[in-house]
Amino acid sequence: MQRASRLKRELSLLSTEPPPGVICWQNQNQLDDLRAQILGGADTPYERGIFTLEIAVPERYPFEPPKIRFLTPIYHPNIDSAGRICLDVLKLPPKGAWRPSLNISTLLTSIQLLMAEPNPDDPLMADISSEYKYNRQLFLQNAREWTEKYASQ
C-alpha cells in the first residue's frame, strides 16, 4: 500500500512540476510500469534528441531502486546497447547510493546530468569511454549522429 500511494504522489508531482526537460507517465495504467522521456541537454551531443526510458518499479520500492533503461539507442560510455545505465543511485548499497528518500524525479534528473557529463572512469562501454577520453571530437560526432538517427522526432 505504501508503494502505491507513494507512486501516485510521485506521478502527480511529475505531471504538475516535472524537472526541466523530463516527462514521465504510466504505461497502460500499470502503476509499476512507467515511461519517461528526457530531452537532450543544450550544448551536448544529445541536443534536440528525445530519449525514451522504461521504468520498472519493484515490489519493495522505495526500499529498492526502480530498474531504468533507455529504450532509445544512445551513444554514451555509461549506457550499454541494451539501454542499461551505470549510475550509482540506481544500485543498492554497498556498491550503489540508492536511498528510500530518493524518488523517480531525482533519478531522471541524475540520468539527465549523466547524459550531459559522462563518467568515463566507470564505463559500461569501454570503447566509447576511451573515445570520450582520448578522441573527444570523434565521440561528439558519433553521439550527434546517433542522436539524429535514433532520437529525432
Cis peptide preceding 62, ω within 30 of 0 = yes
Query: Of 106, 85, 89, 107, which is closest to residue 98 (Cα–Cα)?
Result: 89
Active-site residue, from 86, 87, 107, 128? 86
The amino acid sitting at 55 is I
**24 is annotated as an active-site residue:** no
What is the DSSP secondary-structure string of 52-74? EEEEE--TTTTSSPPEEEESS--
Active site residues: 86
